[in-house]
Structure 1
Amino acid sequence: MTNNQLEAFVMVADYRGFTAAALHLGISQSAVSHAIRSLEKELGVQLFIRLKADAELTEVGARLLLRAREMMGLYETIRQEAADAQGLKTGTLRIGSFGPSSSLRLLPALLHEYRRQYPMIEVHIDEGPDQDVKQWILDRRIDIGFVVLPEERFETYELVKDQMVALLPPKHLLARQVSIRLGELCSDPFIMTEAGSAEIVTSLFHAKNLLPNVHFRSAQVMSTLALVGRGEGVTILAELALPEGEQLKAEQAYLVKPLSPPAFRHVGLAIHSKKRASPAALAFIQVAKKMDLSKLQSQR
């Protein structure tokens, strides 16, 4: 069993096909097929059900996939620890990121500093909903991920305290108020986010025994902003999820008001286990801990 075989196994599973896996790996489809056939022969089991356009994991293949990811992670850790003795010159870092908060506001600044210090580390970024990022950490698909805290399943490192804000149409009756109480948002049609702040927004209302008048559910921040701008309803989002700069000027057909009392969410980094984390992942954490990310908060 070789690392190339395991890598082919994981890539075919992730991309659900031999052609897409081959493109990602930069090798021929026949080479990927040969690696999978050899691995299946060595293990004595069928890992995939071959379809016309896709490849689906068999039941045993799905069970073995997690072990394959663990073995690949250990292989990369060994390789990086050897490189670490030479100044962490080479290696790979797989990062999971969710939504505008981490992908557009936090990650670029962190990557800029990380690449400055470790220019030879190859960085892979997977983006998806926050729940997907957590699952990717569990599945060992990524080395480190941005998550909303607290998260008891992982070792975590807080990065920023992010204020929750109410968003109103420009001509709303509450437009002149400095801050907004949760109860004042219950009579209007409410646009419930299904992105990284969903659990926090729901818990805020639940803690006050309030029930918002949910008319829309949106997983995309820009769709939510457009609905508010058209006067379709009100919502609550995290401040870091909102556009900034020139994009803010183009999109801000809405009012942003802090909540009363103030409410926050905490965003941080999570790894499965510090003991088994790669040097590249630990180095990323150290870079993040030394940076002041509070300046990335929106200035409104």
Structure 2
Amino acid sequence: MELRHLRHFVALAEERSFTAAAGREHIVQSGLSTSIRALEKDVNALLFVRGTRPVRLTAEGDALVPLARRTLEAAAAARQTVQEVHGVLAGQLRIGALQTTGHTLPFAGWLAEFATAHPRVQISVVQLSASEMVQLVQDGGLDCGLVALLDHEPPGLDVVPLLAEPLVLACPRDHPLAAASAVRLEQLVGERFVEAPPAWAIRTEIDRAFAGAGLKRQIVCEVNEWVMVLDLVGAGVGVALVPRGLDFTLHPRSTAALQLVPLTGVQLERRVDLIVPTGHAATPAARRFAELVRSKVSPA
């Protein structure tokens, strides 16, 4: 089984198009087809359903995808490890990141320091939900992830705790609760909520808290960007439970119309952690980035 066949297989599985996959691998479509047939012969199974658009994986092909990714990652890690012996880190670092706009966590600063120290590493960052990032890091689709976990640590991953921040109520300054020193969940029944999408860990945490208290709430708007959440709350669309660690000074237009009120009677917080595959499953670049992050968050 040749690595190039696995690489072509993964490209086609991800692109779901022979044209796109061939372009990504810089080969002609006939060469891609030949490579896929060779791999199918090696594994003695059809990996793609013929004649479908977009291209669709068979059950056997779907099962092979995470293993193929891990094999390619292991080969890349082997090459990088040899280069590390010579003191040069190269290859790629694929990072999944939560919505960090305006956050006090200096993710961009860490990334800049790493990029400056290792100019031969090609870095790519994608912003996805926590559940998607955990799955991709486990399957080898990402090298590491900056995620908001709940109360469990995913199997097969090392977790570097970064921070845990309380959630607070954000409401317009003329809202009846704006003058309160603290609010209970029971006082929020009947309020209109601006919320993060259901796939976000913070939404799961909030939903679980209300359900645990036997309370229902009305969600009138879902958005996947904190700036927009603050803008909508400031405009009077509703209230929101937001992380206290947001850097509200970066949003003066919206936050000038907001009042932040602590919660009482419940402990709601958002954890932020860096996740990396355990042991040799982590690429050299991911290990080096995790070392950098640990040095920044560990007590002096």
TM score, norm. by length of structure 2: 0.84
Is the CA contact 1:190–1:235 (under 8 Å) kept in the aligned structure 2?
Answer: yes
Deviation at 1:63, TM superposition (A): 1.0
Instruction: Say which SS state the counterpart of residue 152 (structure 2) adopts.
Output: coil
Consecutive unaligned residues of structure 2, counting only runs of 5 or more, are none
SS at match of 2:148: strand
Per the alignment, residue 224 of structure 2 pairs with 220
Distance 2:161 2:138 in 1: 19
Q: Equivalent residue for 1:155? A: 158
Question: 1:183 is matched with which residue?
Answer: 186
Structure 1 gaps of 5+ residues are 295-300
1:172 maps to 2:184: no
Q: Distance between the aligned counterparts of 2:240 and 2:41, measured in 1?
A: 55
Find the residue that maps to 2:274 and give its secondary structure.
strand
- Kept in 2, the 8 Å contact 1:100–1:240? The answer is no
Amino acid at match of 1:183: E
Kindly report which structure 2 residues correspond to 1:23-34, keeping only aligned pairs within 5 A, or say none: 23-34=23-34
CA distance in 2, matches of 1:102, 1:37: 49
> Partner of 2:203 in structure 1?
198
8 A Cα contact 1:160 1:293, kept in partner? no
Is 1:55 equivalent to 2:55 in the alignment?
Answer: yes
Rounded to whole Å, the distance in 1 between the matches of 2:165 and 2:29 is: 46
Q: Quote the residue 2:243 is aligned against.
A: 238
Q: Which amino acid aligns with 1:274?
A: G
Distance 2:63 2:175 in 1: 53
CA distance in 2, matches of 1:239, 1:2: 50
Once the two structures are TM-superposed, the CA of residue 166 in structure 1 deviates from its matched residue by: 1.2
Alpha-carbon offset, residue 292 of structure 1 = 4.6
Aligned residue for 2:131? 131
Q: Which residue of 2 aligns with 1:260?
A: 264
Distance 1:19 1:170 in 2: 54
Alignment check: 8 A CA contact 2:93 2:285 kept: yes
Given that 1:102 and 1:146 are in contact with CA atoms closer than 8 Å, whether structure 2 keeps it comes out as: no
Q: Is the 8 A contact 1:190 1:212 kept in 2?
A: no
Residue 278 of structure 1 aligns to which amino acid in structure 2? T
CA distance in 1, matches of 2:19, 2:262: 49
CA contact (8 A) 1:193 1:237 kept: no
Q: Distance in 1 between matches of 2:2 and 2:107?
A: 33
**Letter in structure 2 aligned against 1:147:** V
Query: Residue 82 of structure 1: CA displacement?
Result: 0.8
* Partner residue in 1 for 2:82: 82
Give, in angstroms, the shift of residue 131 of structure 1: 1.0
Mean Cα deviation higher: 113-122 or 187-196: 187-196
Q: 1:168, CA displacement in angstroms? A: 0.7
Question: What percent identity do the matched residue pairs reach?
Answer: 26
1:138 to partner: Cα distance: 2.4
TM-score by length of 1: 0.84
1:140 Cα deviation from its structure 2 partner = 1.7
Distance in 1 (alpha carbons) for counterparts of 2:28 and 2:174: 59
Instruction: For 1:83-102, list aligned pairs within 5 A.
Output: 83-100=83-100
Using a 3 Å threshold, how does the CA distance of structure 1 residues 89 and 193 change in structure 2: closer, same or farther? closer
- Match of 2:201, SS? coil
Q: What amino acid does structure 2 have at the position aligned with 1:259?
A: L
Comparing 196-205 with 7-16, which one deviates more in the overlay? 196-205
CA distance in 2, matches of 1:145, 1:75: 21
Query: In structure 2, what is the equivalent of residue 297 of structure 1?
Result: none
Q: CA 1:30–1:74 in 2, change beyond 3 Å: closer, same or farther?
A: same
The answer to whether the 8 A contact 1:49-1:57 is kept is yes
Residues 1:30 and 1:110: Cα distance change in structure 2 (over 3 Å)? farther
In the alignment, what sits opposite 1:298?
A: none
Q: More deviation in 259-268 or 284-293?
A: 259-268
**Cα distance 1:219–1:28, how it changes in 2: closer, same or farther (>3 A)?**
farther
Q: Deviations over 1:27-80 (max 9, x none)?
A: 444443332232223333221124564211111101111211121121112111
